[in-house]
Amino acid sequence: MLFPTTDFAIFFCIVFLMHWLLKPASTSWKVFMILASYVFYAWWDPRFVALLAGVSLIAQLGGIVVWRTENKLLRRLALVLAITVTLLPLVYFKYYSFFTLNLANALDRFGVDSVVPLLQITLPVGISFFTFMAISYIIDIYRNELEPTGWTNFFLYLSFFPHLVAGPIVRGGELIPQLKRPRNPRRIDFSRGAWLILGGLFKKVVISSYVATTIVDPVFADPGRHAALEVLLAIYGYAVVIYADFSGYTDIAIGVAMLLGYRFPENFNRPYIARSLQDFWRRWHMTLSRWLRDYLYIPLGGSKKGGVRTYVNIIITMVLGGLWHGAAWTFVVWGALHGAGQAVGHFRRTRRIAAGLSPQENDPGAIARQRIVTFHIVCLGWVFFRADSIGSAFDVLARLVTGWAEPAALAFPLLIAVIAGMIGLQWLPGRVSGRVQVAFSRMAPAVQGVFLALVLFVITTLGPQGVAPFIYFQF
């Protein structure tokens, strides 16, 4: 089920009402919310409901076994086994075809036929997100940062529909305690929740859809037919598309959860004003960044095993992070680019500190230069992220060199204004958007209702016919 649909609007109205009616009856409420979340997931494909339930069962059993095992060696073995079994569905559905195809191609070069069957496997929506949440739950129990919760609490934690199909990646310690506490409907920040939902819808339905269909999709489908200026706009445009699409979904998810009385962690913080790639990942998909840091980079040794090992750990983390986004070499290249860039940045900061300087230059000119350079490195990475293949990515980049003499028919003033405006807005101080939200929250309820109705009318008027799935659903 997609957020910007009539189906979801009806679904949420029913869930919202039943949620608050059943809240005093804790067990009935949890059972209802689990069933509602499973209906939400089944709306896309009922066959994969069993997958979600299976991962929940495996992770909960794994967490309990890890918690109850006292012997250190056996406890570690239980952890490895629990993580491995939890990961198996993700590996099969997401990476089986990728690895078998590449194995077959490699063997074919030596004239050897592969005995591993090639299968067309449908990727279940949201499997990467709820699998990572399940793994963090098991590891947190192993680290004694979390105790196993009850079965209904855990099944609700993993299936809770606002975060289910595209995040944010909410950890057990962030959500499970909230499931145990009573919610007071009179303390719900309705104005902020509504603001986030409509703002997210506007970014996704209007901004992302317009820029994608106008410039990004045509150029990436056939870059050779487009001028260099159109290609440049498509690259900048895709930076806007993926930000508006994913941050828009996250805003809706956080807003929906807020109307039900729950707080999700932030996932975006003006990523395109980052001063380095490390800073970018502190601002972009922040719940994934923290997950990769805490459950991959630090277990690999982090920065505690010398300079060379630190750079290797950074690159491994980012390559695996790239592969998490999709089973394709384009995502491996994208991750490697971010890993290498972060390693270089870490090296430069280390050298500056060793010379008695601050980690970065901090005068206004240097800050602006750092932001611009970082943004363009990120955009270079987005080319590989968006392209169908590595060859297609290089075709796009090649047109930036060879296509400047051709007319740019798609370079509309409105399109340029939208792209520049979405990127430029991130340069505004964060307190500006905060003040706008505060001003909205102080409006009378009737005025808020009129304002929200007008915004919804604008969204439905300017949005396309039908709504394409969110980009991150496929990851």
Span 275-285, pLDDT tens digits? 999 999 999 99
Confidence of residue 469 (pLDDT cuts 50, 70, 90): low
Are 63 and 143 contacting, i.e. CB atoms less than 8 angstroms apart? no
Active site residues: 325
CA distances from residue 179 to 28, 153, 155, 283 in whole angstroms, order as listed:
13, 7, 11, 27
Per-residue pLDDT reduced to its tens digit, 354-383: 888 888 888 889 999 999 999 999 999 999
- Which region among 155-169, 263-277, 353-367, 436-450 has the lowest average model confidence (pLDDT)? 436-450
Are 83 and 62 contacting, i.e. CB atoms less than 8 angstroms apart? yes
Confidence of residue 306 (pLDDT cuts 50, 70, 90): confident
CA torsion angle 207 213 214 216 (round to 10): 90
3-class DSSP assignment, residue 269: coil
Average pLDDT over residues 128-150: 95
- Which region among 6-15, 94-103, 221-230 has the lowest average model confidence (pLDDT)? 94-103
What is the Cα–Cα distance from 359 to 381, expressed in whole angstroms? 24
Q: How far is residue 445 CA from its own chain's centroid? A: 33
- By 3-state DSSP, what share of the chain in percent is helix, strand and coil, each rounded to 5? 75, 0, 25
Q: What is the pTM of this model?
A: 0.92
- For residue 467, pLDDT over 70 is answered with no
Domain ranges in the chain are 6-103+117-187, 190-274+373-465, 276-359
Question: What is the reported pLDDT for 465?
Answer: 74
Indicate the residue type of 250. T
Question: What is the reported pLDDT for 468?
Answer: 63
- For residue 475, pLDDT over 70 is answered with no
Per-residue pLDDT reduced to its tens digit, 179-197: 988 878 878 888 889 889 9
Confidence of residue 474 (pLDDT cuts 50, 70, 90): low
Question: What is the reported pLDDT for 473?
Answer: 63
In the chain, the percentage of residues whose pLDDT exceeds 90 is 66
Per-residue pLDDT reduced to its tens digit, 321-339: 999 988 899 999 999 999 9
